Structure 1
Amino acid sequence: MKVILVNERGATRSFSFGGLSKALLGLCLLGLPVGAFLIGANLPVAETDVFDSRTAKAWSKALRKQQQQIEAADREAREQLTALTVKLAEMQARLTRLDALGERLTVAAKLDEGEFQFGTAPAVGGPEDPGIAGAAELPYQPPEFLEVIDELADQIEDRQMQLNTLETLLARRQLQDEQFIAGRPISRGWMSSRYGYRTDPFTGRRAWHKGVDFAGKMGSEVVSVAAGVVTWAEERYGYGQLVEINHGNGYKTRYGHNSEIKVKLGDVVKKGQVIALMGSSGRSTGPHVHFEVYKNNRPVDPATYIRRTGR
């Protein structure tokens, strides 16, 4: 084997190899690529190569976790939206019932038309607050369903305020009606003696009678002609078993000659409530109730109040 080398000037030089030399040279030429491969395999990985299999696996795991979180958040948002929808329907039904109740109460109470307005949006207003700079230019706008819920809440609050006011008016009116003295103190019977001068049944002399008498059957019910507080519920000279009721505003009534008293001192009684049973206790000639009306501690003719009708 002969090898010729040429330098940069063009000069040549030749070498001759024998059989052993040729074998050694072939092994050297063949070993160069193998050695280069082995050296390259054992070199450290460059710092810029960061995407190995472990990194890809970690990223894939993180993405799956984020996807699960997104799905969970989506389910929760849908559940909350469903709950808000149900709440909105409940508020609308409640508002409808409040409007219906308010309109019925307004008609029943015979209030002036327009004084209480159920079924219309509450009137609101007020000057714009200049203290918040750019308040009218805020970028965030709440979702539409939140605005509907806020509007319904305001309407319900307005209806409740009107109903509270209406309830107060009706309670005051009912109290006045209950305290209004009217009617007879008995459920059955007839008037046997009027207010004023009469012949005393025991002495036969002319005497002043400061009440009216209602005769009836022994044990008949005696009722209160108005609401009030019991200020006397026992025997009293001349009256026998007496019940006295204070009705406020300077008014009180007395029910005498009872056979049995059904209330006690301090009781609050309603109009028409049974307070005693008719009898003939005290200075009496037979079963009846002696009925008196006092105004500012002075006796007045009960006939005026007996002929009254309830408010």
Structure 2
Amino acid sequence: MGFLFALPFAMGASGYWLAERLADEGILDLNAAKAWERDLSMQRQELQQIRKQTDQELEALTLKLAELQAKLLRLDALGERLVDVSDLQGEEFDFSALPAVGGPELAAGGTIGGPGVLGEAYQSPEISQVLDQLAERINSREQQLEVLDDLMSANKLSSDTFVAGRPITKGWMSSRYGKRSDPFTGRLAWHAGVDFAGKMGSDIVSVAAGVVTWSAPRYGYGNLVEVNHGNGYKTRYAHCKELKVKVGDIVRKGDVIAIMGSTGRSTGPHVHFEVYKNGRTVDPAAYIHRKPR
């Protein structure tokens, strides 16, 4: 860069000296010498302009390099944090290591083992090359983060739609699944769910994420909410005092979907909880005590 700065002055001084000497010796007339001086002056101005432009471009490239390095550091920090809080294998997403690359060595002409770049001495990379390499690292990190995000989203969706837990926040199990004496007739009858008794007005929550497919009174159930969780699973919450969702709503695991009551065929405030698998009722106890994912 110092060479560019000194070059116009050196050219101007030597050009002026050479023009004067040629004019004195009669080899070059005075007008031609002055024209030569004007050309040299214009060239000197052009060189100064080039130097100024080069300095500006170098400053811009340096700033861009700093921005890219800062972005890479943020991506690495974010990636390491996501791996820490997830259950994924850290070895698959090592953000502290350089991206693994490889391939056969090619000469400048594109042939393996041929003459060309392989035999040339190492030269310091240009700033543009450094920027390109940094951009490649950033792209690699972004691809890793996209894969990591997809895996975490899949794990989260699987965890949310996994049927597990109790449909109440407070209360106790008052009747189990299977044969029992009917509370109204005293005869032996089949109970297709479990009952959780509690305080009138207590929250009833969804045991997994899903879509509401019923939210209205239903014969025998009183006010009923039914949620489809996919993979052949759906759950029912009956005898509600108040319904908090409507058909088509998307609910998350733990969302309040109704308020405990005693509507329909009921002897007191409770929620009748059913679990369906592939269209048939199953014992909810296996899902109530299921370990969440």
Which interval holds the TM-score relative to the shorter structure? Answer: 0.7 to 0.9
Aligned partners of 2:37 and 2:161: how far apart in 1? 83
SS class of match (1:174): helix
Any idea what the Cα deviations from partners look like across 1:220-247, whole Å, max 9, x if unmatched? 1111000011111111111111111111
Task: Give the 3-state SS of the residue equivalent to 1:308 in structure 2.
Answer: coil
> Mapping of 1:183-222 within 5 angstroms?
183-222=165-204
- Does the C-alpha gap of structure 1 residues 277 and 77 become closer, same or farther in structure 2, counting only changes over 3 Å? same
Distance 2:219 2:49 in 1: 86
Separation in 1, partners of 2:246, 2:42 = 78
Q: Tell me, in whole angstroms, the C-alpha distance in 2 between the residues paired with 1:285 and 1:62.
A: 108
What secondary structure sits across from 1:197 in the alignment?
A: strand
State the shift of 1:50 in Å: 6.9
Answering whether residue 104 of structure 2 is matched by residue 122 of structure 1, we say no
Q: Report the CA distance between 1:281 and its aligned residue.
A: 1.5
Between 1:229-238 and 1:130-139, the stretch displaced more is: 130-139
Structure 2 residue runs without a partner (length 5+): 1-25
Shift of 1:49: 8.2
Q: Structure 2 length normalisation: TM-score?
A: 0.82
AA partner of residue 81 (structure 1): L
Structure 1 Cα separation of the partners of residues 178 and 238 of structure 2: 17
For the residue of structure 2 that corresponds to 1:290, the secondary structure is strand
- Any idea what SS the aligned residue of 2:138 has? helix
Displacement of 1:52 after TM fit?
4.1
Q: Distance in 2 between matches of 1:76 and 1:219?
A: 75
User: Per-residue displacement from partner, 1:186-221 (whole Å, max 9, x unpaired)?
Assistant: 111221111111111111111110101111222211
- Give secondary structure in 2 for the equivalent of 1:98: helix
CA distance in structure 1 between the aligned counterparts of 2:240 and 2:38, rounded to whole angstroms: 95
Q: Do structure 1's residue 99 and structure 2's residue 76 form an aligned pair?
A: yes
| 1:67 and 2:44 are equivalent in the alignment | yes
- The CA deviation at 1:162 is 1.2
Out of 51, 61, 65, which is 2:29 matched to? 51
The TM-score normalised by the length of structure 1 is 0.78
Task: Give a deviation string over 1:55-87, Cα, whole Å, max 9, x none.
Answer: 444443333332222212211111111111111
Rounded to whole Å, the distance in 2 between the matches of 1:282 and 1:57 is 111
Q: Which residue of 2 aligns with 1:226?
A: 208
> Which one of the candidate residues 145, 162, 187 is aligned to 1:163?
145
Correspondence for 1:269: 251
Letter in 2 for 1:77: T
The alpha carbon displacement at 1:135 in A equals: 5.0
Equivalence for 2:16: none
Match of 1:239 among 204, 213, 221: 221
* Separation of aligned partners in 1, 2:27 and 2:122: 45
Q: Gaps (5+ residues) in structure 1? A: 1-47
Q: Structure 2 vs 1, CA of residues 213 and 170 (structure 1 numbering), >3 Å: closer, same or farther?
A: same
* Distance (Å, rounded) in 1 between the aligned partners of 2:245 and 2:43: 77
Q: For residue 115 of structure 1, give the secondary structure of its aligned residue in structure 2.
A: helix
**Number of aligned residue pairs:** 263
Superposed CA RMSD: 2.3
Aligned residue for 1:15? none
